[in-house]
Amino acid sequence: MRRLTICWLPVLSALAVLGCSEATNVTPAPEQNPTPVIQIVVVTATPGPTSPPVIQTVVVTATPLPTRTPRPTLEAMAGMNQEMSEVQEISIIENYRATQFWPRNFVVIKDIPVRMYLTRLHREHVNRFTISPFFSSSEVILPGEVGVIEFVPDQIGEFKISNVGHGFDADLIVVETQAEANAYIADRGVQMYALIHDVDQFRLFPETIVVYKDIPVTIHNISLVAEHQVSIERYEMGEEINVLPGELTRFEFTPDTTGAFTILHEIHGFSGTLIVADVP
Ligand SMILES: [Cu+2]
């Protein structure tokens, strides 16, 4: 139950000087797995934190979710409901000045639609994202917003999630079966996720995270606007303000009991669910 609050400001000022050509290859690290739940999502526009405003003209491209029928290869785990096999939901946070995404990589099952919630710490001159060959040129996504990227990963392999025009990225690993995904996660030894806290829409993105028992979990948290006091039943105390806009807070714990646990906003009253399952 360690909590690390990371203030990026010193890093920002240092790295801001480096400019946009700065590209650092990030060593793949622990990983994480699909968290499939169906939800309707609205993209909110809320003012983002600091950063030098740079003008950019962008064409907003509508990207409809492909209408392929998902193949139900995702095996039901304890505590999962049926609809969870229909969409794989994941959140990702971009830290441009640290040339890093959180999580740095994740694994999804082939042919099951993915819905990715993306937010970021900084505004700069490139505000669009691509996942070649599945997805490109999403709408502009600014700090303080949640962008929704939807696609069907119909090829097996390792792909890059990148900010258009920059050299850093996160890895999207597409595998054929849940068993392969489990092997990947076990191999990494850590399950890594991101949670985006949005008081305006009164919800978490995603609202449910499924993790495996006995494998360490790291959850990267960020708020879009408000300050939050977030707890996770059994694993993470919420005794102080711990999730802030413009900063990342990490929750680290090793789930030791299967079940459904409440991720509670002590101040604002909304909640999400952490499901701990046995490795199938
Ligand atoms: Cu809250």
Is pTM, for the whole model, over 0.75? no
Please state, in angstroms and as integers, the Cα–Cα distance from residue 20 to each residue in 11, 126, 195, following that order: 15, 9, 26
Question: Range of 252's domain?
Answer: 2-13+27-46+79-277
The domain total for the chain is 1
Residue 103 in domain: yes
What pLDDT digit, counting tens, does each position of 224-262 carry?
999 999 999 999 998 889 999 999 999 999 999 999 999
**Ligand 1 center to residue 151 CA distance, Å?**
30
**Ligand 1 center to residue 275 CA distance, Å?**
20
**Ligand 1 center to residue 242 CA distance, Å?**
10
**Ligand 1 center to residue 25 CA distance, Å?**
34
**Ligand 1 center to residue 29 CA distance, Å?**
29
**Ligand 1 center to residue 139 CA distance, Å?**
27
Residue 131 in domain: yes
**Ligand 1 center to residue 225 CA distance, Å?**
10
**Ligand 1 center to residue 244 CA distance, Å?**
10
Query: What percent of the chain lies above the pLDDT cut of 90?
Result: 55
pLDDT band at 85 (very low <50, low <70, confident <90, very high): low
Sheet with 147-151, strands from edge to edge, namely 100-102, 88-95, 114-120, 147-151
Residue 72 in domain: no
* Length of the chain, in residues: 280
